[in-house]
Structure 1
């Protein structure tokens, strides 16, 4: 990913710096040079130079042998959120959905074979799911991921499954390639996906696609605790409201 592959315009140093920044998001904790080197696959001297530059520019801070990001780095993510028409227009709809159902809900898109959360409205509970705008999750075992994959061609789905480590996240995780392809067909036919404790024990979620002029461009979901909400509740109580949000967002984005 960090190789130029013969591209004379590719800036390897920038790619390395971004890889170091990203490893902080993956680990969500201060990191040493050795830890960042393991996470990125870069040499320790390369990581040290990247971190030194980030500290000089005010994006990171050093405390002994550990490094942590500083608030200035938020400007990088906010630049996307403030310029993304989809995220900005979805946020008030997600806020309304959260207030209506008293559950956390999110908008996600595909990026690098993962679901990227680009907007989220949360409820406050003692036990809650630690997700936020910028979070990333696998496609194959999440409700938004399956909705997004269901919107692609069979060739695309097969290629994704071949290159992906379909690790079981829980005893309930579906990892069989043939079974997943059948699930994608069912999701495409029914227009929604439900995940029942496949990503994490105690977590259920339901998602629907958001259509754009070229097909499925995003997904909207509701995540909840299995102890409080049954699969039947997801279908009968939450699915109609979720579909209305997707339809409203489709209309706002000018999709037919």
Structure 2
């Protein structure tokens, strides 16, 4: 439902929308938040943020110590219906497992959701990474290989609008933070069919991603592989593993229904 229609729809429950936005404030960068931080991240008044936080705590979706709040285990129940009822994650898992086992690295499958990449399936190889990624993790599209691969499938006007409305924050000292540079990465992916992230999300971690197209030729997701930087250069990474990533992308597009 478009934002401009929500406030005028009799079927739209604004309080539910606000509560869910509060829950979504918590992530890897914000594992513990206080009242003022939640108000800032959501744009709600402190009074509104406080009522929402206290309600979520009373329902056992948040825990707190009187000053800070953090996500409680009950929130896992919100993801369970998707994981158990939709086939995408289940059917994708064997493909990711095979990619991870073949390369001995970590493989991820993501879709574009709002301004972020949402990880919907993941397999960790024998050589584990410290990224802490898992199903449900969100990544910024502008500086992740998954995000750049997904952005490359959109009309250029949409990419321009996305970049103009996104704060290009520095995740590491190597994060690309100019619209021109991000656009160049996306354009390169349009030409080559793959995107890279060279220590821009986490120092010491490189990743390569390719878009996943379904049997109708529509871009529906992206699959990536990540390696420790000390194990291989980006050039060696491309030469060694790009073929396997592309093969996984083709298999995912042919066998996994994304809806």
TM-score w.r.t. the length of structure 2 is 0.87
Q: 1:3 to 1:144 in 2, by over 3 A?
A: same
**Secondary structure of the residue that 1:117 maps to in structure 2?**
strand
Q: Quick one: which of 215, 218, 234 aligns to 1:215?
A: 218
In the other structure, the counterpart of 2:243 is 240
Q: Which moved more, 1:148-157 or 1:194-203?
A: 194-203
Matches within 5 A, 1:12-91: 12-25=14-27, 27-91=29-93
The structure-2 alpha-carbon separation of the partners of 1:3 and 1:22, relative to structure 1 and needing over 3 Å to count, comes to: farther
Q: For structure 2, which runs of at least 5 residues remain unmatched after alignment?
A: none
In the TM superposition, residue 3 of structure 1 has moved relative to its aligned partner by 9.2
1:226 is displaced (CA, Å) by 0.9
Aligned to 2:162: 160
Distance 2:107 2:234 in 1: 16
* Alpha-carbon RMSD: 2.5
Instruction: Return closer, same or farther for 1:54/1:3 CA change in 2, 3 Å cut-off.
Output: farther
Preserved contact between residue 101 and residue 126 of structure 2 (Cα < 8 Å): no
Distance in structure 1 (CA, Å) of the matches to 2:52 and 2:25: 12
Call closer, same or farther: CA 1:128–1:215 in 2, change over 3 Å.
same
Deviation at 1:159, TM superposition (A): 1.5
How far off its partner does 1:53 sit? Answer: 2.4
User: How many pairs align?
Assistant: 255
Structure-1 separation of matches of 2:17 and 2:170: 31
Q: Check conservation: 1:196, 1:231, Cα contact below 8 A.
A: yes
Which string of whole-angstrom CA distances, capped at 9 and with x for unpartnered residues, describes residues 26-64 of structure 1? 655343333322332222332232233223333233434
> 1:217 is paired with a residue of what secondary structure?
strand
**In the TM superposition, what whole-angstrom CA distance separates every residue of 1:213-245 from its partner, at most 9, and x where no partner exists?**
352110000111111121122212111111111
Q: Extract unaligned runs of 5+ from structure 1.
A: none
Distance 1:112 1:205 in 2: 22
1:111 Cα deviation (Å)?
0.6
